[in-house]
Amino acid sequence: MTGRFLRVELRRSAAGGIALLMLVVGTAMLLSSTQFFAGRWMQLAVNTRSMLMVLLPLALAGGAWLGRRETRHRVDELFASTVRPRWHRVVPTAGALAIAVVTAYVLVFLIAAGWVVPTSEYFPTAAIVVTSVGALSLVAAGWLGMAAGRAVPRVITAPVLAVIGFALVGLAPELVMTPDLNAEIARFRPEPSAVLLVPVFSGGLDDLQTIVTRISLLQTLWLVALATTGLLLLSAVGRRATVLAVLPAVLGAAVAVPLLPAGGTRGAAAVDPVAAELVCDAEGPQVCVTRVHAGLLPDLVGPARQALTMMAAKLPNAPTRAVQSQQVAYWAQLVPDSAPPRHQADTIVFDTPTIGRTGHAELSADFLPSLLLAPWEQECGEGSDLDEAYLAQVVAAAWLSGQPPTPPPGWEPVETEQAKTAYEALMALPEAEQQRRMAAARDAAMDCRADGLLAILPEENS
């Protein structure tokens, strides 16, 4: 009998329309920025969770619209006079809304997966967990909205709930993590653990990271408690039942918040060791990328081997392999790594290139010059970067290419002139002396001795 009621609700109630609206809005928003997840399943799951910033308010408002249905049709008193318990009447409607919003969310994910499947070679199972938590949050929002619509059956209830919902899930986390501009280096403020009760991921996730499963389970516990409260409020008759209905949400928050880490998304993220594994092409000088970026390997092999060939032609003891960096991006780290591991002298390490809307690498004209900088780059820890060291690296890269330095974007004319002067002074030396100086500079760079690297510059620049 309940199943028949559920099918009727799915066919004739507003649940279908609410789901269709969420499907259109969510799909349009997600497909407008495919470059953020193309070729990466975890990024798709996280970006779909970010869409909750809009989908959750829609679920709240849709639930409120559905919750005031009896009052809108002036049958609330008639239904209240029947002998059937109230929960018998609300469960099919609540079930239909839950099925509708979950279906919409899953369809948004599956449609966007069309931009992941062609170039992805790594599927982390945690992406399913992250997506499931997002779907559960929509059920909780829908049922809370239904309870609010029943409690305040006014036309304005739905739009007001939408605004309140957007303020809670979209604006509040952003305000909490406003950068601390008074610090020496502006950084996002540490987010309190309670921020993770909001299922929206506003901080983003590095491609090498995953959301810790324990955090997803705690969010599931909280959302199940919240959904239970919504359903109990919808079914409650009398003040006492209404008060008792709030208990699951209170208990859920009381259990989850102390166990959630501080730091918001950054605190909930951890390095995925499988995603960070290296996948290599050894048909020539070895070129390696991380497993999560394995789809980029065919795009990168050519430029990387071209750079290695140019190094082998001029630089003594030149590097023989090119490897993508396995370090998590600085912005994604809760606590920056002050002593990252150094790489071997036979290896150059390059950053992840820009990933385009189709999941392939978008290699700009700056990619090859950036590879030629790599022989003089080493992970030396926080505070080791010097402007003069970068100037020396630009000069060294120009020496490898045999062309005058190309000023990077943002350089002042005086810096460009310094690089040009240093390059001309270097090229004026005998070839053997050039190679000796560049090899010595590279040894110094690998040992994190900035003075040795700066020795290739004229004295007025070093």
Determine the average pLDDT of the residues in 328-351: 86
Task: Report the distance separating Cα 234 and Cα 294, nearest Å.
Answer: 49
Q: What is the pTM of this model?
A: 0.89
Distance CA 74, CA 219 (A): 38
Q: Sign (positive/negative) of CA torsion 71, 73, 75, 79?
A: negative
Q: Minimum mean pLDDT among 66-80, 99-113, 242-256, 301-315: which range?
A: 66-80
pLDDT number for residue 180: 59
Containing 179, the helix (H) or strand (E) segment is strand 179-180
DSSP letter for 168, please: I
Out of 62-76, 143-157, 195-209, 341-355, pick the least confident.
62-76
Instruction: For residue 132, give the nearest of 211, 53, 30 by alpha carbon.
Output: 211
- Give the integer Cα–Cα distance in Å for 203 and 334: 11
Best CA proximity match to 196, nearest among 230, 221, 219 = 219
Read off the pLDDT of each residue in 367-392 and give the average, rounded to a whole number.
81
Residues 6+ apart with CB under 8 A from 209: 42, 269, 270, 271, 272, 275, 328, 332
Region at 204 (left for phi over 0; alpha for psi -120 to 50; beta for the rest)? left
Amino acid, res. 138: L
Nearest to 25 by CA among 105, 123, 119: 105
pLDDT of residue 240 exceeding 80 = yes
